[in-house]
Amino acid sequence: MSVESVKDAQIRVACSAGSSNYDLRYYGADFVVPSWWLGVFDPDGDLRLTDIFHEPEATADGLFRWLTGIVGNAVAEQLGRLIRESDRRPSSG
């Protein structure tokens, strides 16, 4: 098992809802299998749940369905909104 650095993620968004913190990352071009990684943390910062979504032909709808099944509709929508906002930000570098 390998744990990649946050800095290796091409996309990273995070939000909080209730007593949980959600961290969603996309690891793409530099990896054999491009993947979305989701971590759900408790208020103390301990990882409670992790999951990986890696479909070769992943779509935004597929990602949303995957997230909804794990975190519910409201958090999935919030993470999706943050991804879209990060897509519109100019890149630094």
For the packed helices 73-88 and 60-71, what is the interaxial angle rounded to 10 degrees? 140
With respect to residue 78, please indicate whether it lies within any of the assigned structural domains. Answer: yes
Share of the chain above pLDDT 90, in %: 60
Q: What pLDDT, on the 0 to 100 scale, is given for residue 2?
A: 40
CB 67, CB 81: distance < 8 Å: no
Residue 3 has pLDDT above 50, yes or no: no
Domain tally for the chain? 1
With respect to residue 1, please indicate whether it lies within any of the assigned structural domains. Answer: no
Q: What pLDDT, on the 0 to 100 scale, is given for residue 8?
A: 79
- pLDDT tier for residue 89 given thresholds of 50, 70 and 90: low
Q: What pLDDT, on the 0 to 100 scale, is given for residue 1?
A: 32
- pLDDT tier for residue 46 given thresholds of 50, 70 and 90: very high
Q: Provide the β-strand partners of residue 13.
A: 24
Claim: this prediction has a pTM higher than 0.85: no
With respect to residue 24, please indicate whether it lies within any of the assigned structural domains. Answer: yes
With respect to residue 21, please indicate whether it lies within any of the assigned structural domains. Answer: yes
With respect to residue 93, please indicate whether it lies within any of the assigned structural domains. Answer: no
Measure the CA angle with vertex 25, ends 20 and 30; round to 5°: 160
The range of the structural domain enclosing residue 14 comes to: 6-88
